[in-house]
Structure 1
């Protein structure tokens, strides 16, 4: 870029005179428009093709039942939290390694099913008829079809 000739920097009436705006003349230092367009396109293509880390998330909860704090021992509470943490880590590890969401959910559920502090897989809540019933299903959101795993 070439600049036009600047006026004198000597103050006039105590003020510095304003400078002229630089003139944007073509220069050999800058590539032509087609070259700039090609470079920009290549950069955007490179950015678009670079694998980006996808954010992952998994949430587990310990059920919908109510736990009476008066009968909950500190050891039992620690076991609840440890099982939830282990369940989260199992699912998160699968997602972090690029596994499917379905596999991650299954891994998280298996941890909770095997834990004695939670009732899926080991026990059940009584129905209105006074019977214990167990059932489970998992759904793949891509097909929106449930897959019963036990009944």
Structure 2
């Protein structure tokens, strides 16, 4: 008897370049503050421009919106008012706290170069969404193909 297997892959890609690009010429080595008393030398991107910003006193932070090119997507960055305030910001973070009044202002932005990547194991996610039998012998995927097999 032939054994048949199905490999299911899903790929969601988002290649988001910034609407206002960071100049490579203005990317320099700089110290990034990781936590109180801890710094690390990183490649720091710099740019100046008009961006949406908001003060968030309830979170002890300021917010900056960086829009992506060719997309309605944005990245919202939060900067604690207190240099040692990251833990306090994390504790105060809520959807309600994001009811902010953003306004456009000229700002200088310095941000460490970074790359975001997410890999998700669907064997853990799909059962939480009610897809129970997909990874068992009870899986019925006959609707995927008109071909009959045996």
TM over 0.5: no
Q: Whose strand fraction is larger, Structure 1's or Structure 2's?
A: 2
Shorter chain as denominator, the TM-score bin is: under 0.3
Q: Which has the higher contact order (CA 8 A, sep 6+)?
A: 2
TM-score by length of 1: 0.22
Q: Whose helix fraction is larger, Structure 1's or Structure 2's?
A: 1
In our comparison, the structure showing a higher alpha carbon Rg is 1
